[in-house]
Amino acid sequence: MNIDNVMKLEFLSKSQNESFARSVVAAFIAQLDPTIDELADVKTAVSEAVTNAIIHGYENKLGTVEIVARIMSRTVEIEITDSGKGIENIEVARQPLYTSKPELERSGMGFTVMESFMDEVEVSSVPYQGTTIKMRKTFKKL
């Protein structure tokens, strides 16, 4: 598919950047005139992935989180990358209710939310190198 538009965003892994990150992605994809629900779905999925990068990837140490968003016709592709601790077992991590941080009252539902709100979610991760979440969603025809 041809890429119609691209944006790249890089920010420090501070929790106050979570709302900034999801709002920037929402503003970028607004050019496709998604429905309110479609826009909310993408915002929520981005929030989950960025939060995971900050709390699990960097465990609240400072690093950078990178977001690349591409528009291809009515499809958005969003990649969220951290250079944090990585995920040892991706299959286990993706299971509903699995969390490595129950003491923080995490519910283990972040990946399930991403999978439900986006059409596709790919996880690639290398321990001690980092994690990339690639998600796609195709919006309804106008």
Asked if 41 is part of the footprint of ligand ATP (rule: CB under 6 A), the reply reads no
Distance CA 4, CA 72 (A): 5
Which member of 38, 52, 70, 77 is catalytic? Answer: 52
Quick note: the x/- pattern for another protein over 42-81, rule CB under 8 A, is -xx--xx--x--xx--------------------------
Burial class (CB in 10 A: 0-12, 13-18, 19+), 86: middle
| Closest approach of Mg ion to the CB of residue 42, in Å | 16
| Closest approach of another protein to the CB of residue 35, in Å | 10
Which entry of Mg ion, another protein, ligand ATP, none binds 84, CB below 5 to 8 A by partner kind?
ligand ATP
Contact residue for another protein among 116, 119, 120, 127 (CB under 8 A): 116
Contact residue for another protein among 1, 62, 103, 104 (CB under 8 A): 104
Residue 106 CA neighbour count, 13 Å, CB half: 19
Contact between 108 and 96 (Cβ < 8 Å): yes
Contact between 21 and 82 (Cβ < 8 Å): no
Contact between 21 and 12 (Cβ < 8 Å): no
